[in-house]
Amino acid sequence: MARGMIMLVSLVCLLAGAFSVVKGEDPYVFYTWDVTYGTLSPLGVPQQVILINGQFPGPRINGSSNNNFVINVFNKLDEPILFTFLGVQHRKNSWQDGTPGTQCPIPPGTNFTYHFQIKDQIGTFFYYPTTGLHRAAGGFGPIRVFSRLLIPVPYPDPEDEFDFIIGDWHTKSHSTLRKFLDSGRSIGRPDGVLINGKSAKGDGKDDSLFTMKAGKTYKFRVCNVGMKNSLNFRVQNHPLKLVEMEGSHVVQNMYDSLDVHVGQCFTALVVADKEPKDYYVVASTRFSKTQVVGKGIIRYENGKGPASPELPEAPVGWAWSLNQFRSFRWNLTASAARPNPQGSYKYGQIPINRTIKLVHSISRGQGKLRYALNGVSHVEPETPMKLAEYYGIVDKVFKYNNMPDQPPANLDNMVEGPNVLNITFRQFVEIIIENHEKSVQSYNLDGYSFFAVAIEPGKWSPEKRKNYNLLDALSRHTIQVFPKSWAAILLTFDNAGMWNLRSEILENRYLGQQLYISNLSENKSLRDEYNLPDFVLKCGIVKDMPVPPPLYT
């Protein structure tokens, strides 16, 4: 198969024998990825970046809900690498989640093939490397998941769709930034903001990112793939009609601009009904003393004239952003692919089985910088914890429940080690995240969509539950927590496996602000989880161990 070539075949699948994890009747989408270093100058300074099939950002993954994705990754870097597909739930299949706690990284000079189904999901997502600090060099790209043919979409088909991969950017290499973090320094402020790997100079010579036909409607799919900065996204003179966010069809409000925190995505419709000429799309950093701005050009077909140099103003302060969060509502009447029972409209009536409150802490000193949740700073063991569970050698690799459900009185005592929480299968759990810092945090949970029921200033207490949106909160995968504020999410832990709950802020995650949540179904039923697929990589102490017989039947 030619590199990067996409083939859509149905059923007849060479892999059927080797791979029983996916259901046969759904179509397959194949990709081959060549992951290499390259030199580009996104901000005018040549630097090392990570390319996929020669592209930065990487190529789009595209398909319909319930398609089976087969992605053969050739690692031509000099370091092991692993990719995660953010927001893709991998039901029953944490084997393919692409986090270091669940999979062995792909060694340099070898290839590994991901096989997973995107089940009962639609929307705009993205992928990125989870290893080292690779995300600081690229390796990210867009994912589009369309509704299946017979499932109605709550807006007319647009003329075309455009991906906007936006993020803060450093001109230093990922290995230099990694050295900073390893020696107790921060990665500091970004040197720029990129939109699809570029930033327009505004000298009249910039190429356009996309071209629109006057009078037509376009779908903008926007994801913040950056390292730490929340961004505000806006288009000169063109309002955004929000239609989808991280897998949920939303109540379709109009916005002049949208804040998108690290790890988040949204989909909006834009009508090309203005004077035909060039316009800037702008992505600028929020909540920082100095605003860093990235620009790109959208052109009207047969348009005349350059984009006006006057950029639309960004909103100021985070109260604006909080109000915007509160305006995001799930469209309860739109049909969509929804896994159960997360898709339940009645999430507000389910009794809460367990409350986990997470507070982060920082420890500095002696050339070291670490971040923790409830006093535990996660350190990745050499053997992925998911494999240790399957091989029955947990005792040699990690301990469950290192971390208490409530923050300890003294957060200054930090423990380092694997941070794995045990959650009883199918429990309905409330997770509160309190941010005591001056900067915005952003958290992602793999394997699930959760109901983002509240974000409020101050500290959480049980009586704050009366302020939860228990009716039409968005079901999504990433939530921001504003400075000196808290956020609450609700979900049923019905996806057996081991899943990463992490700070999407790259340096915090790299330095320990993350944990894994594990549960195996008590009945060891194939209905709940797949057996270890035979093709997954083995490393650490399980490398040469005999593979245990199938655990689930």
Under the rule (CB under 6 A), what is the footprint of ligand NAG? 6, 62-64, 72, 111-113, 146, 154, 251-252, 331, 333-334, 351, 353, 400, 422, 424-428, 518-523
Count of C-beta atoms within a 10 Å radius of residue 177: 23
Look up tokens 């986090």; give the residue: 99
Q: Which is nearer to ligand NAG, 174 or 221 (CB)?
A: 221
Burial readout 61-86 (b: 16 or more C-beta within 10 A, e: otherwise): bbbbbbbbbbbbbbbebebbbbbbbb
State residue 396 phi and psi, 5-degree precision: -85, -10
Using alpha carbons, select from 408, 477, 544, 548 the residue that is nearest to residue 104: 544
> Which residue, 297 or 336, is less far from ligand NAG as judged by CB?
336
Q: Which is nearer to ligand NAG, 191 or 389 (CB)?
A: 389
CB 119 within 8 A of CB 214: no
Spatial strand order of the sheet with 354-365 comes to: 415-417, 376-378, 368-373, 354-365, 428-435, 485-492, 450-457, 475-476
Cβ proximity to ligand NAG: between 306 and 348 the closer is 348
Query: By C-alpha distance, which of 334, 341, 265, 277 is closest to 306?
Result: 277
Residue with Cβ nearer ligand NAG (289 or 346)? 346
CB of 538 to ligand NAG, least distance (A): 12
Least spacing, CB of residue 472 vs ligand NAG, in Å: 10
- In whole angstroms, how far apart are CA 207 and each of 177, 199, 238, 299? 30, 10, 20, 9
Q: Is 36 or 237 the residue whose CB approaches ligand NAG more closely?
A: 36
Q: How near is the Cβ of 549 to ligand NAG at its closest, in Å?
A: 19
Strands 514-519 and 497-503: antiparallel
- Write out the H or E segment, with its range, that includes residue 40: strand 28-40
3-state secondary structure of 171: coil
Is residue 443 within 8 A of residue 481, CB to CB? The reply is: yes
Instruction: Indicate the residue among 380 and 389 with the shorter CB distance to ligand NAG.
Output: 389
Rounded to the nearest whole angstrom, what is the least distance from the CB of residue 378 to ligand NAG in the complex? 17
First-residue to last-residue Cα distance in the chain: 35
Measured distance CA(14)–CA(397) in Å, rounded: 36
Chain length of the chain: 553
CA distance 217 to 269: 7
Is residue 279 within a helix (H) or strand (E), and if so which, with residue range? strand 278-285
**Rounded least distance, CB 258 to ligand NAG, Å:** 16
Nearest partner of 72 among 36, 111, 117, judged by Cα: 111
Nearer to ligand NAG, 351 or 367 (CB): 351
For residues 526 and 535, give the distance between their C-alpha atoms in angstroms, rounded to a whole number: 18
Nearer to ligand NAG, 351 or 365 (CB): 351
Is the Cβ of residue 180 or residue 400 nearer to ligand NAG in the bound state?
A: 400
E-assigned strand segments in 179-230:
192-195, 210-212, 217-224
Ramachandran region of residue 426, left (φ > 0), alpha (ψ -120 to 50) or beta?
left
Output 112 or 116, the one with its CB closest to ligand NAG. Answer: 112
3-state secondary structure of 280: strand
Token digits for 65?
Answer: 């809900």
For residue 478, count other CB atoms closer than 10 A to its CB: 23
Provide, rounded to whole angstroms, the least separation between the CB of residue 369 and ligand NAG.
31
Q: Output the smallest distance, CB 220 to ligand NAG, in A.
A: 17
**What is the nearest approach in angstroms of ligand NAG to the Cβ of residue 308?**
31
Nearest distance from C-beta of residue 527 to ligand NAG, angstroms: 8
Least distance from C-beta 44 to ligand NAG, angstroms? 32
| Residue given tokens 């950056």 in the structure block | 226
Q: Which two tokens stand for residue 470?
A: 């228990």
Provide the minimum distance between the beta carbon of 400 and ligand NAG in the complex, in angstroms, as a whole number: 4
The structure tokens 């050499």 sit at 382
Cβ closest to ligand NAG, residue 187 vs residue 473 = 473
Looking at beta carbons only, is 74 or 318 nearer to ligand NAG?
74
